[in-house]
């Protein structure tokens, strides 16, 4: 039997070791295999979990070792092969995400540029991983010189996305550790967002 490498971050290992299944609101509503979010490739397996589960989110946010990777062997289950192009693209995105000289906004913006350019190259049938490495390096240099921040500052605001995010906040069910009166006020404010008409929501956005 052929085995492949299986990568499991610490938060996945700890989630698997929990006695019984999680009873958070998201897990109660979801299908049986949720919050699993594994990626099965022909030559690699990457395990992950949906951060929408409260137990997972707590581990991700509060455990400094959540992303330490554990390597083991597994039986191949996927059809798709992880190509050198895809593996390099993934690694370059990780590099941009964890580069200490980039702010969170700059990292996301740089990743967006990288993915967009990578798609253009792939569409032209040019999948040389060296292109991605040099693009990643150039993006870091541009960011360190403030060029990316400057460009990002010129992007127009997409109001529809902000309104949709505000409306989604109204659907959140939070497990708040607050006195009852504060908790009620917060819950009312949130549910108000989910039923507000678009023009009122827009006004609220202006205030924020
Ligand atoms: Zn859960």
* Cα 37 to ligand 1 centroid, rounded to whole Å: 13
According to DSSP, the β-strands at 44-46 and 39-40 are: antiparallel
**Which tokens belong to 134?**
């040099």
Domain positions in the chain: 3-75, 84-153, 159-207
So what's the pLDDT on residue 39?
94
* Cα 60 to ligand 1 centroid, rounded to whole Å: 13
Q: Which of 67, 10, 74 is nearest to 39 (CA)?
A: 74
Per-residue pLDDT of the chain (208 residues; tens, 9 = 90+): 689 999 999 999 999 999 988 989 899 999 988 999 999 999 999 999 999 999 999 999 999 999 999 999 999 999 999 999 999 999 999 999 989 888 889 999 999 999 999 999 999 999 999 999 999 999 999 998 999 989 998 988 888 888 888 888 777 777 778 888 888 888 888 778 777 777 777 777 777 7
Contact 21, 66 (CB under 8 A): no
- Alpha-carbon distance of 33 to 29, in angstroms, equals 12
Nearby residues of 152 by Cβ (< 8 Å), 6 or more positions away: 105, 106, 109
* Cα 24 to ligand 1 centroid, rounded to whole Å: 4
So what's the pLDDT on residue 1?
66
* Cα 21 to ligand 1 centroid, rounded to whole Å: 8
Contact 53, 26 (CB under 8 A): yes
* Cα 30 to ligand 1 centroid, rounded to whole Å: 9
So what's the pLDDT on residue 168?
81
- Could you tell me the pTM of the whole model? 0.71
So what's the pLDDT on residue 158?
85
* Cα 23 to ligand 1 centroid, rounded to whole Å: 6
* Cα 9 to ligand 1 centroid, rounded to whole Å: 17
């Amino acid at each position: 039997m052929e085995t492949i490498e299986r990568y499991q971050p610490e938060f996945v290992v700890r989630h698997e070791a929990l006695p019984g299944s999680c009873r958070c609101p998201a897990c109660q509503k979801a299908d049986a295999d949720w919050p699993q979010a594994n990626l099965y490739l022909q030559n690699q397996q990457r395990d992950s979990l949906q951060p929408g589960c409260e137990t997972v989110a707590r581990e991700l946010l509060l455990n400094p070792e959540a992303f330490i990777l554990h390597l083991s062997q597994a039986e191949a289950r996927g059809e798709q092969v992880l190509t050198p192009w895809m593996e390099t693209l993934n690694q370059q995105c990780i590099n941009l995400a964890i580069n200490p000289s980039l702010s969170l906004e700059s990292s996301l913006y740089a990743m967006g540029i990288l993915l967009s350019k990578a798609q253009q190259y792939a569409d032209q049938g040019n999948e040389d991983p060296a292109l991605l490495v040099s693009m990643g390096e150039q993006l870091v240099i541009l960011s360190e010189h403030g060029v990316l921040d400057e460009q990002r500052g010129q992007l127009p605001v997409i109001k529809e996305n902000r309104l949709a995010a505000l409306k989604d906040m109204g659907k959140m069910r939070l497990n708040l550790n607050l006195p009852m009166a504060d908790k009620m006020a917060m819950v009312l404010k949130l549910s108000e967002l989910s039923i507000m008409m678009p023009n009122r929501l827009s006004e609220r956005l202006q205030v924020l």
